[in-house]
Structure 1
């Protein structure tokens, strides 16, 4: 006969095992192939979502398709369009470690704690999580500010953690310096033969990954007139924003290459200024410009995290 202590132990063991499950390996090791978890979907978000109207934050939300807490544009990232009417203010206070902003139009003041700085069209800036960020649009009547904004809140929601330590300080990347760096790269010998003509925004605190924050990667790239940039792929999701283009710029996306290094049965995404689109992780993608002017693309990815995990697995078509 069990004594009371033994009975209590067995009851506790039963309770602790209530959630335990055991799966056969080959049927469960690939949850995407087994359709247990969804793939990251293709999706395009147009500038009409934030071109007019009142001050607001517009989540580019795919949480229903991804099966994760809203808002989420990818399993680890949430992208947003932001519109701030002249003289008005918006606060950002996600449970995130990294907030990245690109100023599409307008100008204003960004602040976090005791740090306060001005930004203008074309600037990038990053803020650490853990404290609210406030952005105020300039008060001139025609100075409505529009931003593209990405954070890593979905990653923290999945991990069940809260941001408590700032891994970097607010950092500003002025448009003039980023554009000059891109011009230098574009004019370098052999630039036209590179898979991408781009710069990566970095932060001195992350020398191992050379990324804009410890979790985020931000690229500023150009596709010259009447050129194409060959396919490449990586295991990080890409949240691509088009800052400027003319009709005739587009991206092809697909899962496989043929023997000539071309994407098989690609999905075509025609570029429009101010739009954003999702390039799923692991998919081949190539950029084309059949117009007479430069096209500019800004991919923001969770490649800071993927690079640190040694899992980015970036590959280039030959």
Structure 2
């Protein structure tokens, strides 16, 4: 048996000791492979009275809930992808949240991808999950890394696992995509993915619409959760189902979350809140009368207190902050559809989604 390599330590003053790894010959006179990396200097702290500069200690009660910039309730209007050159238009709220990388929420980044007919553009993200919803147009996307090309048209949705290389999007007619990734989460952690946790998956519009009544649906990817949500005319506050934790054997991406709403004129449903952030895409809405009311508190009547109102615009998106109570409303003569993208896949795995529903027993007068 080859004797183990020996690392020789040179001791310097206690506050900063440098260890030099030296190649020591083994019993056969050959350098051991374990010590092949030569002269690498490392810092050793071997004095119990010396702390590193970053060692900080805080009193628990005053520090356990740090003062952080809130996640704003803002909209990303559809006019951004309706005109102009081929480009990516990020829904970047990093300045609001105090981070130095693009982000719409702490864990997710949403963007529009606009591609003019006959043109192409590449997108690239250091992310475990990427979701693309076709807002408008027809085209194809190619991932050389995954040896995959997806053709699609309006209303289709496809998801991609991590990829080191770009995805090429080509437009057969003017194209607009809603692109959501978990890149900000990886930026925060300082990591890059190296394992493919699911296979590239395509959901066709016809299949999505045909299965909006499906029960027991799971998460879209390990981090992303979504549902295609119908808000019928003259209805208020569609309910949605809590997605249960996935069993260990589940592939995590076999089904898109979807729940069709009870289609009863003038029926209203109660507000709810959850810890995940929702990046909602208004797939279709009448020009007036479709909106979301949201705020951090409920009033005594069980409805959102002093709510912020965000009106839906077809092809536009908006943020529902985490923990905020919110209710959706459709006072128009047309059915409306919304596609929320959330980081609820992550919260579901952690058993911390904490979805709650208001217990109001009276319907308020909504102007």
Normalising by structure 2, we get a TM-score of 0.74
Q: Which residue of 2 aligns with 1:22?
A: 57
Q: Which residue of 1 aligns with 2:148?
A: 115
Q: Secondary structure at the match of 1:135?
A: strand
Q: Which residue of 2 aligns with 1:236?
A: 276
What is the rounded CA distance, in whole Å, between the counterparts of 2:179 and 2:280 in structure 1?
Answer: 12
Q: Which residue of 2 aligns with 1:217?
A: 225
Matched, 1:267 2:273: no
Q: Which residue of 2 aligns with 1:72?
A: 103
What is the rounded CA distance, in whole Å, between the counterparts of 2:160 and 2:62 in structure 1?
Answer: 42
Provide structure 2 residue ranges, at least 5 long, that are not aligned to the other structure: 1-9, 18-44, 238-269, 360-367
What is the rounded CA distance, in whole Å, between the counterparts of 1:153 and 1:144 in structure 2?
Answer: 27
Higher relative contact order (CA 8 A, sep 6+): 1
Shift of 1:10: 6.3
* 2:94–2:100 Cα contact (<8 Å) kept: yes
1:110-259 equivalences under 5 Å are 110-113=141-144, 114-131=147-164, 132-138=166-172, 143-182=173-212, 185=213, 210-229=218-237, 230-246=270-286, 247-259=288-300
Bigger radius of gyration: 2
CA, structure 1 residues 305+64, in 2 after alignment: closer, same or farther (shift >3 Å)? same
Q: Secondary structure at the match of 1:26?
A: helix
What is the rounded CA distance, in whole Å, between the counterparts of 2:295 and 2:102 in structure 1?
Answer: 26
What is the rounded CA distance, in whole Å, between the counterparts of 1:51 and 1:59 in structure 2?
Answer: 14
Alpha-carbon deviations, 1:278-315, whole Å to 9, x = none? 10000000000000111111110000111101111111
Shift of 1:15: 6.9
Shift of 1:111: 1.6
Q: Secondary structure at the match of 1:144?
A: strand
Q: Secondary structure at the match of 2:228?
A: strand
Provide structure 1 residue ranges, at least 5 long, that are not aligned to the other structure: 186-198, 203-209
What is the rounded CA distance, in whole Å, between the counterparts of 2:82 and 2:143 in structure 1?
Answer: 27
* 2:283–2:314 Cα contact (<8 Å) kept: yes
Alpha-carbon deviations, 1:237-266, whole Å to 9, x = none? 000110111110010001111233211111
Alpha-carbon deviations, 1:133-159, whole Å to 9, x = none? 221111xxxx10001110000000000
Alpha-carbon deviations, 1:54-85, whole Å to 9, x = none? 11000000011112232100000000011001
What is the rounded CA distance, in whole Å, between the counterparts of 1:120 and 1:135 in structure 2?
Answer: 12
1:8 to 11, 14, 25: 14
Q: Secondary structure at the match of 2:219?
A: coil
Report which stretch shifted further, 267-276 or 9-18.
9-18
What is the rounded CA distance, in whole Å, between the counterparts of 1:214 and 1:90 in structure 2?
Answer: 27
CA, structure 1 residues 99+200, in 2 after alignment: closer, same or farther (shift >3 Å)? farther
Alpha-carbon deviations, 1:191-241, whole Å to 9, x = none? xxxxxxxx6996xxxxxxx10100000111011111101211100000011
CA, structure 1 residues 46+201, in 2 after alignment: closer, same or farther (shift >3 Å)? farther
